Amino acid sequence: MAKPPRTRPATAMGRVCIIAHSHPEFSKGGGELAAYRQFETMRDAGRDVVFVGASEVGTQYAESRPIETVMPFGPGEYVYSFAGMAEDRLAWEDTYQRGVLVDFLAALDCEVYHFHHYWRLGTDLIDALMAARPDARFVMTMHEMLAICLHHGQMVKTRSRELCRRESPLRCLACFPDQTLERFAYRKATLMAVLSRFDTILHPSDFIRGRYRDWGLTAPRDPVLENYLGDAMLAQPREAADPQAMAHRFGFFGQPTSFKGLDVLLRALPMALRGNPDIVLTVFGAEREDVLRLFPTLEPMVEAAGSSLTFAGRYDPLDALDLMRSVGWVVVPSVWWENSPVVIQEARRAGTPLIVSDIGGMAEKVQRGVDGLHFKRAAPVDLARVMVQATDPELRATLGASIRDVMGRAEFLAALDAATAVKR
């Protein structure tokens, strides 16, 4: 495969390759958005940077027909097929495709390879690339806890939905009785052997850094560096909303997965309406049918809410700030720990205070009684109480005025440079 040409002059740091588990053109999750926004920011700042992301498009086609493993997707951008990976997407079954991708990445001649995941990338690929480029520096940004927890990295027990606070083979076996103690031990050893070889591990929250440290992962450097929200959102002005008019308006933003806690919020709504019938909730990110398909038992509550509940459907991430300014509060009711939810950063940028579950990265990013409110995780009654409390215009004005803005471009690039530079 021909060596990809340089599109920009080399900088003092040299070329950087950002490698992600997806391209946001195909999936707009927080991790892939963070990776791509880093690429855009570095590129627009004149850095020599390349983006390589996984593509779900054509993977079924690729399983049955010859297809290029890596394909150009734009200036300095490439996508690759992960059709040759094992079912858990942590290793490659097709060693030929893995070898092609390793050769391609090594030929990019980068000084830094910055991974934004290991899922859909493969620990075996990382190991092979490190062997092929021993002169390069390797950086990993952790977006969740998949290495620690087989349950989608959520650290939530599969049967009871209770929080899991520490992994061990016996604890993991209780959630996955079809596995074996030996398999869990081998999985941890394999992941640890690769992740511990990174020069720098970046954590978007102190919470997730603590979890990986407790798991046993060490690296020469493991600083906390919040994901950058992107130049486009930083260019939008922060506009203060009228607390008198907005205090009773609440918004949920995101996909209605079982971990995001939308069901908790919808169960809380009828109780909150009894405390204040003026409350209005808008669900951004899903249609009514999407929610009821996932939570069919909630239909009576949805019907009873009437005009107090609106489903606004999916939205473009670039419209998030305007939509968040249309509500008085952004509610993040996730039942798992979260890490550094992009919705919290977006709300801070919009100047809209938050109501969040009292755990993990949510409790870390939102200061209770300062720029937001907390409620007991997975507790509709407590959430309803907090929602009624939040309708006080004076409280809304006080907390809204205290919201910290997100990190700016110069601060982000400086912190990124410090984290990835050669240790002196």
Flag whether pLDDT at 400 surpasses 80: yes
Section 92-114 average pLDDT? 94
* CA 340 – CA 417 distance, rounded (Å): 21
Give the pLDDT score at 30: 84
Instruction: Report the length, in residues, of the chain.
Output: 424
pLDDT of residue 299: 94
Q: How many Cα atoms within 13 Å fall on the side-chain side of residue 67?
A: 20
| Arithmetic mean of pLDDT, 187-191 | 95
Topology classification of domain 16-228+409-420: Rossmann fold (3.40.50)
Q: pLDDT confidence of 379, banded at 50, 70, 90?
A: very high
pLDDT-above-70 percentage for the chain: 93
Give the model's pLDDT for residue 57: 64
The pLDDT of residue 239 is above 50:
yes
> pLDDT-based confidence at 397, cuts 50/70/90?
very high
What mean pLDDT comes out for the span 15-38?
Answer: 89
What is each CA distance from 300 to 61, 268, 387, 407, in whole angstroms? 42, 13, 21, 43
pTM: 0.90
Residue 323 CB burial class (10 angstroms; 0-12, 13-18, ≥19): buried
pLDDT at 27: 76
pLDDT category of residue 325 using cuts at 50, 70 and 90: very high
> If pLDDT is split at 50, 70 and 90, which confidence band does 61 have?
low
Taking the C-alpha atoms of residue 388 and residue 375, their distance in angstroms, rounded to an integer, is 12
Q: Which of 401-404's residues contact partners 24+ apart within 8 Å by CB, and which partners? A: 401/240, 402/370, 402/371, 403/347, 403/348, 403/351, 403/352, 403/353, 403/371, 403/372, 404/348, 404/371
The rounded percent of the chain whose pLDDT value lies above 90 is 79
Mean of the per-residue pLDDT values of the chain: 90
Rounded mean pLDDT of 153-171? Answer: 92
Contact 298, 263 (CB under 8 A): yes
E-strand ranges in 58-181 read 70-74, 77-81, 112-115, 137-141
Summarize the confidence of residues 258-287 as an average pLDDT: 96
Helices (H) and strands (E) in the chain — how many of each?
A: 18, 13
pLDDT average, residue stretch 85-108: 92
Average pLDDT, integer, range 390-397: 96
Largest CA distance in the chain: 67
pLDDT in tens, 276-297: 999 999 999 999 999 999 999 9
Domain boundaries, the chain: 16-228+409-420, 237-401
Mean pLDDT of 25-47: 90
The candidate with the shortest Cα–Cα distance to 74, out of 128, 36, 21, 114, is: 36
CA distance 36 to 18: 8
Q: From CA 342, how far away is CA 334, in angstroms rounded?
A: 13
State residue 55's pLDDT score.
85
For the chain, the distance separating the N- and C-terminal CA atoms, rounded to the nearest angstrom, is 36
CA distance 351 to 285: 20
What is the predicted pLDDT for the residue at 423?
47
Decide yes or no: CATH 3.30.70.270 for domain 237-401: no
Interval 50-56 mean pLDDT = 90
β-strand pairing of 49-55 with 16-20: parallel
- β-pairing, 354-357 with 70-74? unpaired
- The answer to whether the beta carbons of residues 39 and 18 sit under 8 Å apart is yes
Lowest mean pLDDT segment, chosen from 5-9, 214-218, 291-295: 5-9
pLDDT at 9: 38
- pLDDT at residue 292, rounded to an integer: 94
